[in-house]
Structure 1
Amino acid sequence: MTKFRAKLTFILILLIGCSMLIAGIFMAKVLENSHIKSLQDNMERELQVITATVDWNRKGTDAELISYYTEQAKHLKEATHERVTYVRADGKVLGDSDQRPEQMDNHLNRPEIASAAANGVGYVTRYSDTLKENMLYAAIPVKNEAKETTGFLRISMSLEQVGKSIRSLWYFLISGLIILFLIAGIVSYRIAKGITYPIEKMTKVAQQITNMNYQSRVPAYSNDEVGQLGQAINRMSESLQQQMARIQENERRLQGVMENMMSGIMMIDREERIMLLNPAAEYILGFSSQELLGKKYNEAKQQYEFTKLIQECIETQDPIRDEMVFYYPAERILDIHLSPIAHEDEEWSGVLIVIHDITAVRRLERMRSEFVANVSHELKTPIAAVKGFAETLLAGALNDKETAVSFLQIIFDESERLNRLIGDILELSKIESKRIPMNFSPIYLPEFLERSLSVLRKEAEKKHIELSMLVDDDIYIEADEDRLRQIIINLLSNGIAYTHDGGKVKVRVEPLDMNADGDYERLRLIVSDTGMGIPKKDLPRIFERFYRVDKARSRSSGGTGLGLSIVKHLVELHKGTIRVDSEVGVGTRFTIELPVIH
C-alpha cells in the first residue's frame, strides 16, 4: 500500500470512526437519560400504588407510628426491592425500610421532599450518607381526605442498577463500534484503493514518461474524472511520443548530414568550450572528439593562427572568412568560415566554424595552370619547328633538293607529332569528362593479347626487343575492347621506347580472388620491361599529364607525355587500379587489376 493510500484510508476511518463515536456517545447519553426518565416514571407509579395500598394517615404515638410505618416500609421493600421512607409533614421520619427512623435526621429540607411539596412529585440523584452510594430518590406528598399534606412518601433505588444498564449499553456500543470500525476500515480501504490505484498507475506512467518511455499508457478506467485524467495522460503521452519521434528523426537526419559532410563543423559555446565536432573536422584537424570536446578552444592543441582567428571572431562578434595552411596531420589548404551564433533572447551564444579542405581545388588549379603552360609549350615546339624550316625553304633552300627533302621530312614529322599531341589532348579531355561511352563485352584474352602484340612487333624488331606473353588458355574478361587495347598498346609502346636494344617486354595475366566454385573474380595484367627504369622520386608523378622523366629522350621518341595519364583514366573507367614499380637500370613493371565481370 502506498503512503497516499494509507493516508487516505486513515482519514476515511478517522472520519467514519469519529462520526460513529460521536453518534454512540450521543445515543448512550440519550438512552441513559431515557432510562432514568423511565425509572422516574416507574417510581412515581409505584409511589401512587403504595399510597393507595397503605393507610398513611394513622393516629397514635410517635413510637407506635414509627413501629407501624417501619414495618410497612420493610414489607413494601420485599415486594419492590426499593428503599421506602415515610416522612411526616414536619420532616420527621416515621418509617424506613433500611434504617431506624430514630437515628435519621429531619428530612423536611431534603431536595426531593421540597420538590414534592412544591410540584407534587420530586426527583433527585445524590449520594446517600446513610447507604454510602449514589441513589435515585422519588417522593410524592401524602394527603388526607381534606386534601391536606400529612406527610411524604419516598422511595429510592441504587443507581448501581442504572450504572449496570448503562455499562451494558456502553459495552454493546463499543462492540458495535469495533465491528463498525473494522467494516469501515475494509470499506475505506476499498474506497481508497479505488481512488488511489488509478492514480498510482497514472503516477507510474508519468514517471515512465519522465524517463522518456513514451509508449507507456494508462489502462482504461471509468468515465469519471479519474478516467478522464487517465485519457488526458494517454493523449499527452501519445503527443509526446509523436513529437519525440519527429525530433529523433530530425536528429538522425541532422546527425547523418553532420557525419557525411565533407566539410568540417566545429561549434564553440559561450563558455568558449568546444561543444561539437563532426568526423570531417576530426579528420581535418587530426584530433578525435574525445580529445577536444569540452575543452576551451585555446587549450586545445591547435595551430596558433587558427586559435587567433577564433579569438578575433569572439571579440568582434563578426563573421570571418580566411584561407590558411595547416601542417598537421598533413599539409592542407583550408578555407575557414567563422560565424557568431546569436539567439533572439541572447546577444551571443557561441561560434560556428565551417572548415573546407580546398587542397585538391588548389592542386587542380595549379595543375590546370601547368596544363595550359605545358600545352602551350608542347604546341609551340612543333609549330616553331614547322615555321622555321618552312621559312628556310622559302628563303631559297628549295633549290637544294637534298636539303629541301630533309626539311620537308622534318616538317612532316613535326606535323605528325602535333597531330598526335592534339589527338591525345582531345582524347584525355573526353576521358576525364566521362564523355566517352564504354561498351563492355566478353574478351578472350589470349587472342586479344596476341593481336595487340602483333601491332607492335615490327617496331620491337627494329630494336631487337623480344615481345612475349604469358596467359592461360581459358582466361576471359568483360571490358571495352578498344579501350583495353589502348591501355595495353600504350604500356607496350612505352616499354619498347624506353628499353635498350636487345631487351625484353612481357605481358603476364594472373587470376585473382578465386571463389568456392573455382571461378576468379579479378584479373591482374602485368606489363614489364628491362628498360632504363624510373627514379623513385619520379614514381608518384608518373601518371600526371605532360610529366616526363627524361624530357630529351621523350621528345626524341615522339612521346606526348599524355599516354600514362590516359591509361590511368581508362583503367579507372574499368573500375580497376594501376600501379608502377621500377628500378633504375633494371626495368619497370606496370600492374593493372580489373574486375572480370561488370
Structure 2
Amino acid sequence: MGINSLRQFMNDIGLKQKIWLTIAAVSLITVVISLGLTYFLYQKFYVDEQKELLFLQGRNLEKIYISEGEGEGFQQRLNWINNNSKAHTIYTKDPMKLSAALPYEKKLTETLITFKERQQLLNGQTVTMVRKHPMFEKDILAVAIPLKDQDELSGALFLYMPLEDVYGPFKSIRLILTAALLIILFVVVWAGRKIASQIIQPIKKMETISERMANGDFSKRIDTTSSDEVGALAKSFNRLAGSLEDVENQRKEFLQNVSHELRTPLSYMRGYTEAILEGVVDSEEERQRYLQIIHQETARLSRLVHDLLDLAQLEGDSYPMKKEPIAFAQLVADVVERFKLRIEEKNIDLNLHLNEEAIIEGDSDRLEQVVSNLLDNAIRYSEENAKINISVDLSGDEVTLSLQDTGKGIPQKDLENIMDRFYRVNKSRTRIEGGVGLGLAIVKQIILKHEGDIRIHSTPGEGTVIVLTFGPLDLDKF
C-alpha cells in the first residue's frame, strides 16, 4: 500500500477506527521497541560480561602459566575452572590441534577454530568467537588465548561455555517481559476503548442532534458529566443549540408579531378603499373620513417598516456609527423643545436639570432617537397634570441621563422583557394607547452600540425611571 493509498484509507475510515488504529500501532511499536531494547541491553551487559569473564579467566591462567609453567598449580587452576564455573577450558601445547579438531579422541569433520583464527593465535592475538561445538553440537561462546614462552608460542588456551547457559536467564526474563507487555497491551487497548467511546459517543450525539437542528429541531441536548475538552465541547454545543432555539423562537415570534401588526392596518385600508371604490360612501364628509383613516394607517405602516429596518441594521455588526464629541445637555434640550407642544397639551410639569459640561462620544442622530423614544413613552403613558423629571449629570468621567415619569409604571414581571421586540405590557391595548413595541428595542441596540448601559426601575401606579450611562470621552481619538 502506497503513501497515497494509506492516506486515502485514513481519510475514508471513521474517527473511532482511526483512534483504534493509532492505539494498536503505538502499542505494537512499544512492544517491539521494548523487546528490542531488552535484547540489546541483555546482549550489551550480560553477554558481554560473560565474554569478559572468559577473557579474565584465560588471562589469569596465562599469568599462572607464565610464572609456573604447566605444573601442578596450572593444572589445579584448570580443574577448578572446569569443575566450579560454567566455563570449560582446553589447554594444548600445539594450537594446530585446535584447528585439526584435536585433542578429542575421535576425529571430527569440523574444527574448534578456523585457519584464519589459528593464524591469529600464531601471531599472538586473542580470538573471541561464537559457533557450534563440533563434538557436542551446541552453540558456544569461546575465547582462544595464545600462551608464550620467551616471546615464542608454546601453547594455547580455549575457554568456552554453551550459549544456552548465557541466554538461559534471558529466556525467563523474556517470558516475564512478554507477559508484562501483553498485560500492558491489554490495559492500553481496554483504556483506549474506553477513551474512544468517551470521545466518540458525544460526537456521534452531536452529529445526530446537528442533523435534527438542520431540520429545525433545536430542542435536543447532549448529556455530559466530563469536564475535559470533549465535555467542554458538548457544553458549548448545548449552548449553541440553546441560542439557536432562542433565535428560532424569536424568529417565529417576530413573524407572528409582524404579521399581526401588518394585518390590521392592511385590512382597514382594504375595507375603506373598497367602500370608496364601490360607491357605498354617501357623503363627501364620510369619504374624507375614510381617506383620513387610510392615510393614518399608511403612515403607521411606514413607521413600522422604518422601525423594523432600523432595528435590523442596529442588530448587525456592520452598522456604521458616526461618533463624535457631543454636548449631551444641548442634545437633550433640543429634543425636549420638539415635544413642547405635546407636553403643553397634557399640561405636564417638566423639570430639566442639565449639566452643560457633560460631553460624550456618539452618533448625534441615533442619540436623539434614543431621547425621543424615551420622552415619547414618558408623555404617552403619563396622565394629564403629571410630572416628568429629566437630568443630565457628570460624575467623574461618566455621563448619566435620568428620565423619570409619574405614569402607569411597569409590573416587575415585565421589566426583564420590556426591551424585547414587539413586547407589550398590556397585550390588548389599542394603537392609540401605544406603539408596536419596537421603541425600547431600538433604544437598547443604540445604547449597546455606544458601549453604554441602560437600567429601568419601575413601580406600577407610581412611574418609571430610565437611567442611561455613558463612559468617558477619549479626546485622543479626535
TM bracket, shorter-chain basis? 0.5 to 0.7
Give the 5 Å matches for 1:132-171.
Answer: none
Partner of residue 435 from structure 2, selected from 532, 545, 559: 559
Deviation (angstroms), 1:25: 3.5
Aligned-partner Cα distance in 2 for 1:554–1:439: 36
1:387 maps onto 2:270 in alignment? yes
**Which aligned pairs between 1:199-210 and structure 2 lie closer than 5 A?**
none
Is the 1:269–1:275 contact (alpha carbons within 8 Å) kept by the matching residues of 2?
A: no
Q: Deviations over 1:259-289 (max 9, x none)?
A: xxxxxxxxx9634898669xxxxxxxxxxxx
- The partner residue of 1:582 within 441, 458, 470 is 458
Say whether the 8 Å CA contact 1:453–1:467 is kept in structure 2.
Answer: no
SS in 2 for 1:436: coil
What's the counterpart of residue 494 of structure 1?
Answer: 377
Distance 1:480 1:567 in 2: 13
The one-letter code of the counterpart of 1:469 is L
Could you list the runs of 5+ residues in structure 1 that have no partner in the other structure?
Answer: 30-267, 278-296, 298-305, 314-318, 326-331, 339-351, 515-519
Equivalent position SS for 2:469 = strand
How far has the Cα of 1:566 moved from its partner? 0.9
2:193 match: 270
CA shift for structure 1 position 15: 7.9
Alignment partner of 1:535 is 2:411: yes
2:471 is matched with which residue?
595
Q: Give the match's secondary structure for 1:534.
A: coil
Distance 2:326 2:311 in 1: 24
Q: Identity of paired residues, percent? A: 32
Aligned to 2:346: 463
Match of 1:425 in 2: 308
Distance change in 2, residues 1:322/1:449 (3 Å): closer
Deviation at 1:432, TM superposition (A): 2.1
Q: 2:426 aligns with which of 550, 564, 571?
A: 550
Query: Gaps spanning 5+ residues in structure 2: where?
Result: 1-44, 73-190, 225-232
Alignment partners' CA distance in 1, 2:251 and 2:412: 25
8 A contact 2:451–2:471 mirrored in 1 = yes
Residue deviations 1:333-367, cap 9 Å, x none? 445599xxxxxxxxxxxxx9794441221221122
Contact 1:527–1:591 (CA under 8 A) maintained in structure 2: yes
- The one-letter amino acid of 1:492's match is L
Within-5 A mapping of 1:85-100: none
In structure 2, give the amino acid aligned to 1:525: L
Residue of structure 1 equivalent to 2:244? 361
In structure 2, the CA distance between the partners of 1:433 and 1:400, relative to structure 1 (3 Å rule), is same
Deviations 1:173-231 (A, max 9, x none): xxxxxxxxxxxxxxxxxxxxxxxxxxxxxxxxxxxxxxxxxxxxxxxxxxxxxxxxxxx
Contact 2:325/2:362 (8 A) holds in 1: yes
Give the alignment of 1:223-262 within 5 angstroms: none
Q: Distance in 2 between matches of 1:20 and 1:272?
A: 65
| Of 236, 258, 261, the match for 1:378 | 261
Task: For residue 497 of structure 1, report the CA deviation from its aligned partner.
Answer: 0.7
Larger Rg: 1
C-alpha distance in 1 between matches for 2:272 and 2:362: 45
In structure 2, how many angstroms separate the alpha carbons of the residues matched to 1:337 and 1:377?
A: 39
Distance 1:470 1:353 in 2: 53
Looking at structure 1, the residues matched to 211 and 70 of structure 2 have their Cα atoms a distance apart, in angstroms, of 100
State the alpha-carbon separation in 2 of the partners of residues 545 and 373 from structure 1: 12
Cα pair distance change 1:580/1:554, threshold 3 Å:
farther
* Aligned partners of 2:357 and 2:394 also within 8 Å: no
Quote the residue 2:325 is aligned against.
Answer: 442
Shift of 1:370: 1.8
Deviates more, 1:528-537 or 1:554-563: 554-563
- Which string of whole-angstrom CA distances, capped at 9 and with x for unpartnered residues, describes residues 488-519 of structure 1? 1111111111111112222333445x4xxxxx
| DSSP-derived class of the 2:347 partner | coil
**Residues 1:479 and 2:329 aligned together:** no
Asked if residue 23 in structure 1 is aligned to residue 66 in structure 2, the reply is yes
Q: What is the CA-CA distance between 1:450 and the residue it aligns to?
A: 0.9
Query: Equivalent residue for 1:525?
Result: 401
Specify the SS of the correspondent of 1:543: coil
CA distance in 2: counterparts of 1:469 and 1:273, whole angstroms: 68
Q: Alpha-carbon deviation of 1:464? A: 1.3
Deviation by residue 1:217-268 (Cα, 9 ceiling, x = unmatched): xxxxxxxxxxxxxxxxxxxxxxxxxxxxxxxxxxxxxxxxxxxxxxxxxxx9
Moved more, 417-426 or 501-510: 501-510
Determine the C-alpha separation between the residues in 1 that align with 2:308 and 2:315: 11
Cα deviation code 1:289-331 (max 9, x no counterpart):
xxxxxxxx9xxxxxxxx9xx99xx9xxxxx7547999xxxxxx
More strand by share: 1
1:323 and 1:334 in contact (8 A); partners too: no
- The code of the aligned residue for 2:390 comes to V
Which letter does structure 1 place at the counterpart of 2:193?
R
> One-letter code of the match for 1:477?
I
**2: CA distance between counterparts of 1:532 and 1:411?**
31
Task: Please list the CA deviations of residues 349-405 of structure 1 after superposition, one character each: whole Å capped at 9, or x if unmatched.
Answer: xxx979444122122112212212211221121122222233344455654243333
Rate the CA distance shift 1:13–1:497 in 2: closer, same or farther, 3 A. same
AA aligned to 2:321 is M
1:466 and 1:553 map into 2 onto residues whose CA distance is 26
Partner of 2:116: none
Q: Does the Cα contact within 8 Å between 2:358 and 2:399 map onto a contact in 1?
A: no
CA distance in 1, matches of 2:241, 2:404: 37
How far apart are the structure 2 equivalents of 1:526 and 1:269? 63
The TM-score with structure 1 as length reference comes to: 0.43
Counterpart in the other structure of 1:168: none
What value does the CA root-mean-square deviation take over the aligned residues? 4.1
Question: What's the CA shift for 1:470?
Answer: 2.6
The within-5 A match list for 1:173-184 is none
